[in-house]
A and B are shown apart, each in its own frame.
Chain A
Amino acid sequence: MKSRTIKVDYLARVEGEGALYVKIKNTTVVDVKLKIFEPPRFFEAFLRGRAFTEAPDITARICGICPIAYQMSAVHAMEDALGVVVDGQLRALRRLIYCGEWIESHSLHVYMLHAPDFLGYESAIHMARDYPEIVQRGLQLKKVGNEIVTHLGGREIHPINVRVGGFYKVPTKQELKPLAERLKWARNAAFETVRWTATLPFPEFEQDYEFVALQHPEEYPFNEGRLVSNKGLDIAIRNYDDYFVEEHVPHSNALHSVLKEQGSDNLTGRPYLVGPLARYNLNFHRLSPLAQDAARSAGLSPVCRNPFQSIIVRSVEILYACDEALRIIQEYEPPEKPAVEVQPRAATGYGCTEAPRGILYHRYRIDDDGTILDAKIVPPTSQNQKIIERDLYQFVSKNIELPKQKLTQQCEQTIRNYDPCISCATHFLKLNIEQE
């Protein structure tokens, strides 16, 4: 009996600490584990006893790459609890800061973390020796995203200007103008990014996924909508806990999330996929005409089931975010007040927004004084873990004859398709491949 293992002790070019372990007996994959050994940080525990107003600042610290997503899910959940609606230009500014985070985070992933896999480089810095203009374009695109976040949020990582009810300070029309000029450049650069990523070599690997994303009647989703899937799920955010369940497996410090089989409370539910592929497949018709055209002209159909092509989909989303940010800035009129008044009351609130890596669910129960009694936070990566493991199982099964080094590298690439955010998931991951 021949057996092999593929092990990667420390996954690179992901956020946080994880590892891969794949065990192969003869020509069959017998075990796949995506291990998350990032130490736990206990956010849900120490949110208890804090003021409701602190949730956006504290939960931002779960992740340095997508702090806005945490802030947005937190403020929406608190506003849901307090019966407050934030609309008009304040709502538009929230979309604008989310555009900034998508541009920054997606550009980082496309250019610095994912593209080197396709072209055979260890890093974007190595890639820059042969493709200096491309890496520079990626860095400058990322910078425009960061400029939006810094402008509205005070700084790019852990912004300080987001609060329950709105913002501490809103910009003047004049202050947003320089961003519009930068965004016009970025929109062209994003268009070029879609064309460029479409030329990369993609393994043939189509999978049948259950895609889960927010869906909104008028917009490509950021902050609001119903939770839908291509296999019949269609629920309000507040019903999340009735349909999704998290389980704790021995090999991971991150909880695995699955869709419950209806009428059953057992934990053997269906895995599902969240993130850019899910959003794109469920909401293609809500992309801006420019983003739709760019996708089609790059040869991407409105249905994409190849996870390796997520790099093109991310690029389409960067283009959309540039388009949307420009629209918001052009239509911007400063609101009278930077925030809506909020008064605490005893209630439970639910929030779910589209982080760059997928849906990010928050639930808080607060008392009369606004003290948090309990908190539940489900980040995108813990929802995608089971699908990542399934992709690895399928990919290795299909490519079992590859030499070990090549197979290991492609397993890493399979994981990076998801841009997993390990720090988020533990609030994630260790990779070993073993072959007997």
Chain B
Amino acid sequence: MTRKRKPKLAVWKFASCDGCQLSLLDCEDELLTVADEVEIAYFLEASRAVVKGPYDLSLVEGSITTPLDIRRIQQVRQASKFLVTIGACATAGGIQALRNFKDINEFISVVYARPEYIETLDKSTPIANHVFVDFELRGCPINKKQLVEVISAFLQERKPNTPAHSVCIECKLRGTVCVMVAHGTPCLGPITHTGCGAICPAYYRGCYGCFGPMETPNTASLSAWWSRLGAKEQDILRVFRGFNAYAEAFRKESEVHEK
């Protein structure tokens, strides 16, 4: 296929650990091929070179946590034809959304000796709360194969093939024995969005929900099962308040278990 010009790819960062954009650099076998197909126009973790927008595909990592970032995400949206969020921070507010349930001033005083130097919002929010998002890629961290799929789909002008079923299905597909049924290990697999490859149960531990809620999760039923397995209310609260605490289904279920 011949193109008039290579599409421009930009990678943006907001509050995050950099792990999701690192996933692109972790595509050791595919990175140079991707670099042949797109023009890497803005990707500060990898390159000093900055090409002016507009950009054809923007990958956005991280959540919105400062007043400046609210303005910056709007500029990114204006400069982007397609905007895809990558990871739990950009898609659900991330682990830093744990502040959303607390008093932010108390948090600042715990960490910083001079709170007056800190400018931050009282909530950490996903990108979609601020601008229109064309596609969301889940995970803390994202799965790099899914990232390559998203970029390929964009280049071929089709919808990315990233299933929305639960981790349970993935366990069945890879032939992992159910840790909840066989060992009585509490697991979030039944309500968690697939994508990781169901690795936790394969390592004999329960899923802790790093891909966030699946399409239609029955969180109340799963909480009841956790109780039967001996989990205390506090344990259930904490497990829903993890890397996707501000995703609606997880947030609501966590509130049920709050004292």
Which residues of A are in contact with B by a Cβ distance under 8 Å? 10-17, 38-46, 48, 50-51, 54, 57-58, 61-65, 67, 108, 112, 122-126, 128, 132, 135-136, 139-140, 142-143, 146, 154-158, 160-161, 163, 168-169, 246-250, 253, 255, 338, 374, 412, 423, 427
Inter-chain contact A158/B32, CB cutoff 8 Å = no
Inter-chain contact A46/B99, CB cutoff 8 Å = yes
B181 within 8 A of A: no
Q: Tally inter-chain residue pairs, CB-CB below 8 A.
A: 174
Quote the shortest CB–CB distance from B33 to chain A (angstroms).
Answer: 11
Inter-chain contact A62/B47, CB cutoff 8 Å = no
Inter-chain contact A61/B18, CB cutoff 8 Å = no
- Interfacial residues of chain B within 62-91, with CB under 8 A of chain A in the complex: 65-66, 69
Q: Which of B19, B25, B31, B114 contacts A248 (CB 8 A)?
A: B114
Q: Of the 9-residue stretches B126-134, B166-174, B199-207, B217-225, which lies at the interface with chain A? A: B199-207
- A-B CB proximity, top 10 nearest: A64-B19, A123-B47, A122-B49, A143-B28, A45-B107, A157-B141, A46-B98, A139-B28, A12-B48, A154-B199
Question: A135–B98 Cα gap in the complex (Å)?
Answer: 40
Inter-chain contact B18/A64, CB cutoff 8 Å = yes
- In the complex, chain B residues whose CB is within 8 Å of the CB of A169: 203-204
Question: A39–B107 Cα gap in the complex (Å)?
Answer: 14
Instruction: A63-B18, A158-B19 given; name 13 further pairs at CB < 8 Å.
Output: A17-B13, A39-B65, A44-B111, A64-B16, A128-B32, A136-B32, A139-B31, A146-B28, A160-B200, A248-B112, A248-B117, A250-B114, A423-B16
- In the complex, chain B residues whose CB is within 8 Å of the CB of A143: 28-29
* Most central of A45, A157, A427 by chain B CB within 10 Å: A157
- Interfacial residues of chain B within 1-37, with CB under 8 A of chain A in the complex: 13-23, 25-26, 28-29, 31-32, 35
Quote the shortest CB–CB distance from A375 to chain B (angstroms).
Answer: 9
Quote the shortest CB–CB distance from A213 to chain B (angstroms).
Answer: 24
- In the complex, chain A residues whose CB is within 8 Å of the CB of B118: 40, 253
Q: List 25 A-B contacts (CB under 8 A).
A: A12-B48, A13-B46, A15-B22, A17-B13, A38-B15, A39-B15, A39-B69, A41-B15, A42-B110, A42-B111, A45-B111, A46-B99, A51-B238, A61-B17, A64-B18, A124-B46, A125-B46, A128-B32, A142-B26, A157-B19, A246-B113, A247-B113, A248-B112, A249-B117, A250-B114
Q: Which of A10, A67, A125 contacts B35 (CB 8 A)?
A: A125
A108 nearest CB neighbor, chain B only: B25
* Most central of B14, B46, B110 by chain A CB within 10 Å: B46
B243 nearest CB neighbor, chain A only: A61
- A139-B28, A157-B22 as given contacts; A12 in contact with B65, CB under 8 Å: no
A67 nearest CB neighbor, chain B only: B19
B44 within 8 A of A: yes
Question: A104–B21 Cα gap in the complex (Å)?
Answer: 15
Inter-chain contact A157/B203, CB cutoff 8 Å = no
B215 within 8 A of A: no
Question: A155–B47 Cα gap in the complex (Å)?
Answer: 25
B96 within 8 A of A: yes
Quote the shortest CB–CB distance from B248 to chain A (angstroms).
Answer: 20
Q: Which of A108, A135, A168, A412 contacts B32 (CB 8 A)?
A: A135
- In the complex, chain B residues whose CB is within 8 Å of the CB of A140: 28
Q: Which of B31, B35, B47 contacts A13 (CB 8 A)?
A: B47
**Interface 0/1 of B36-52, CB less than 8 Å to A:** 00001001111111000
Interface bracket on B: 35 or more
B247 within 8 A of A: no
Inter-chain contact B210/A158, CB cutoff 8 Å = yes
B44 nearest CB neighbor, chain A only: A12
Question: A139–B243 Cα gap in the complex (Å)?
Answer: 29
- A44-B110, A45-B107 as given contacts; A65 in contact with B18, CB under 8 Å: yes
Q: Which of B17, B47, B235 contacts A122 (CB 8 A)?
A: B47
- A61-B17, A250-B114, A423-B16 as given contacts; A41 in contact with B25, CB under 8 Å: no
- A40-B118, A158-B19 as given contacts; A142 in contact with B28, CB under 8 Å: yes
Quote the shortest CB–CB distance from B199 to chain A (angstroms).
Answer: 4
Inter-chain contact A125/B40, CB cutoff 8 Å = yes
Question: A100–B72 Cα gap in the complex (Å)?
Answer: 36
Quote the shortest CB–CB distance from B55 to chain A (angstroms).
Answer: 16
Q: Which of A38, A57, A108, A139 contacts B208 (CB 8 A)?
A: A57
Q: Which of A45, A126, A423 contacts B17 (CB 8 A)?
A: A423
- A17-B13, A112-B25, A161-B203 as given contacts; A64 in contact with B20, CB under 8 Å: yes
Inter-chain contact B196/A155, CB cutoff 8 Å = yes
- In the complex, chain A residues whose CB is within 8 Å of the CB of B102: 45-46
- A50-B238, A58-B95, A423-B17 as given contacts; A64 in contact with B205, CB under 8 Å: no
Question: A338–B203 Cα gap in the complex (Å)?
Answer: 11
Question: A374–B107 Cα gap in the complex (Å)?
Answer: 12
- In the complex, chain A residues whose CB is within 8 Å of the CB of B46: 12-13, 112, 123-125
B140 within 8 A of A: yes
